[in-house]
Amino acid sequence: MECTNRLLKRGEWKINQTFNNLDIEKQERIINAALLEFAENGFEKASTNRIVKSAGIGKGMLFYYFKNKKELYLYLVEYSLDIILKEFIGKIDTNETDFIERLRQIAKIKFENNQRYPSVLSFLGNIFIQEEWEVSENLKQRYEEMMNIRHSILYDNVDTSIFRSDVDTEKAYKLIKWSIEGYQNELINQFKEKNLATTNMDPYWDEFYDYLEVLKTIFYKKEEGTE
């Protein structure tokens, strides 16, 4: 998507080359520890002591990679925006015109990425939704544009003709979205402490798809030849 690529090119920060040269596992350990700390406590109350303890590094090393807490925080804002665009939004097939099927792929992408990027969404929410801390106008604009892209991915090119004629489509959108997000969050909470690499997810996805069929039965027109 052209608008997504444009947003990805508009970063303000420069990654410390030493941090960039770390192995990916260590980078992600530091990033996830910092994201969680800021998401739970906000900028002012966030503790770099807790971040380094959770990440398993010395405090001096953290400030070797980032000059201070503010630089780390602003890096995380840009990082989170890029992750949402590349790993979530950028992987959704908008050629799918069935609303429930489109939400199905969104839910699966979000669930599969939650293990690797567990605090990105809550971190961004605290900044831009709750306006927890002041960020630059450029970052605010990037966030607003990202939200507009997200809205387009959810609703553009959806085939409304498959909905029952006696159903309010806008209300159906919300009910379907709430149902899928609720099940998805239930799974995320259930598997927080588990290693997904060693867990057979097939039964859970089969159950999820069964629920989607129930939603289609409720909100979609019956197919020809069915009672």
- pLDDT tens digits, one per residue of 76-107: 888 888 888 888 888 888 889 999 999 888 88
Residue 63: give the domain boundaries. Answer: 2-219
Residue 146: inside a domain = yes
* 176-207 pLDDT, tens digit each: 989 888 887 777 677 666 655 566 777 878 88
For residue 158, the domain's CATH number is 1.10.357.10
Among 143, 167, 126, smallest CA distance to 40 is for 126
Q: Among 134, 217, 148, which residue's Cα sits nearest to residue 7?
A: 148
- 172 occurs within a structural domain: yes
Write down the pTM of the prediction: 0.69
Tens digits of residue pLDDT in 31-66: 999 999 998 888 888 899 999 999 999 889 898 888
Q: Is residue 189 part of a domain?
A: yes
